[in-house]
DNA sequence: ACTGAAATCTCCATTGT
DNA sequence: ACAATGGAGATTTCAGT
């Protein structure tokens, strides 16, 4: 009997791979030399392992996180949206619109009363109000919308710990 | 009359700074040479601008984003928490506990019925249940807890567009 | 699959405009 | 405040174990 098939045939990650990922999660600009020293290997295998994980999609993207309020995006809002009808077409239309809106950093489909949870950033309340009324509510089939304002960020990380 | 004071005296960002930030947000491992080409400057001023923005805190961190399900974290849950009492001490205790929990990627203080919104990841329902019962609910003063399960991720970005 | 070293390319401090 | 330069250091490839 063959081993159980995996989605998309991702080769299993060993302990060294996970250690490399831990370091890269903390600092995407770490040099290969630094990472190699961290996992007690030479640069060659580390370079190969990183390339393999980039190609297999384990590593999604190297990004720079900014201080939102210092670049004029001081307001964060969690926004719940339900659609008036749940046809395939209505859903696709909504998703397409959301993907184009730069104010929306995150869009999740959720269980419960609402269909979507959005994380939205704006410079201030005026800008958010404009987004709410003229952009979000203007998408066809958008029904109920509810905004919850974020008063403070206690924790914000992307570090997955294995 | 002097110009209006800013919090923490952040020197204003010009159009070139914003262009650099746009490129760095998309790819934290971009070389200075690549970024310099993108903004039609030589490497020297680009290097200086980036260093300045790192020191002033505009640039928070360079991180690597992983594919959560490919590293065994296939379940995402939005979790609402309210505290039984709102003393300074109770809040601090809760925050301290949350900061130590690797399952919690995000913790926001919000307006409305609940006090906190948590974004939690786990391998599966068993692991989440264990977190809920034995870790989250075990924090003193935690009152009502409500879980909303994420069924799909439509969009997930960190790119702030100015 | 890893080591060590060589070739190429990038970084970044200095100097000059 | 930016360009050009060159030594230092990183990346990437290749031979060897």
**Whether residues B46 and B76 fall in one domain:** no
Residue A47 (CA) to nucleotide C6 (C1'), in angstroms, measures 17
Task: Note the pLDDT tens digit of each residue in A3-62.
Answer: 444 444 567 899 999 999 999 999 999 999 999 999 999 999 999 999 999 999 999 999
**Whether residues A50 and A73 fall in one domain:** no
Structural domain includes residue B159: no
Structural domain includes residue A42: yes
**Whether residues B27 and B100 fall in one domain:** no
pLDDT band, residue B12 (cuts 50/70/90): confident
What does the block give as tokens for B158? 């960190």
Looking at the predicted structure, is the pLDDT value of residue B143 above 50? yes
Q: Concatenated DSSP letters for A13-56?
A: P-HHHHHHHHHHHH-TT--HHHHHHHTTS-HHHHHHHHHHHHHT
Task: Note the pLDDT tens digit of each residue in B48-64.
Answer: 999 999 999 999 999 99
Overall number of domains in chain B: 2
CATH number of domain containing A114: 3.30.70.920
Question: Which of B18, B64, B75, B86 is the best substitution to test chain A (most A C-beta atoms within 10 A)?
Answer: B64
- Using only the alpha carbons of chain A, give its radius of gyration: 21
Which residue range is the domain that position B98 belongs to? Answer: 68-149
CA distance B147 to chain A (A): 9
**Whether residues A49 and A116 fall in one domain:** no
Q: How far from B15 is each of A103, A122, B1, B161, CA to CA, in Å?
A: 20, 19, 26, 12
**Whether residues A104 and A142 fall in one domain:** yes
Dihedral angle over CA of B59, B117, B126, B130, nearest 10:
100
- Using only the alpha carbons of chain B, give its radius of gyration: 21
CATH number of domain containing A51: 1.10.10.10
Average pLDDT over residues B39-55: 94
pTM: 0.92
Yes or no, beta carbons of A158 and B105 under 8 Å apart: yes
**Whether residues B42 and B90 fall in one domain:** no
Structural domain includes residue A2: no
B43 touches strand D (CB under 7 A): yes
């Amino acid at each position: 009997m063959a081993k159980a098939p995996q989605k998309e045939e991702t080769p299993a990650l060993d302990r060294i791979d996970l250690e490399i990922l831990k370091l890269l999660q903390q600092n995407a600009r770490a040099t290969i030399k630094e990472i190699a020293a961290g996992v007690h290997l030479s640069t060659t295998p580390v370079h190969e392992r990183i390339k393999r994980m980039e190609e297999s999609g384990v590593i999604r993207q190297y990004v720079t996180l900014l201080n939102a309020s210092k670049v004029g995006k001081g307001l964060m809002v969690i926004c719940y949206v339900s659609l008036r009808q749940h046809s395939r077409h209505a859903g696709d239309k909504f998703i397409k619109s959301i993907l184009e809106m730069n104010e929306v950093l995150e869009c999740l489909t959720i269980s419960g009363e609402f269909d979507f949870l959005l994380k939205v950033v704006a410079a201030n309340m005026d800008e958010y109000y404009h987004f709410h009324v003229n952009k979000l509510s203007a998408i066809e089939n958008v029904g109920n919308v509810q905004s919850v304002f974020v008063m403070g960020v206690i924790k914000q990380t992307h570090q997955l710990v294995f």
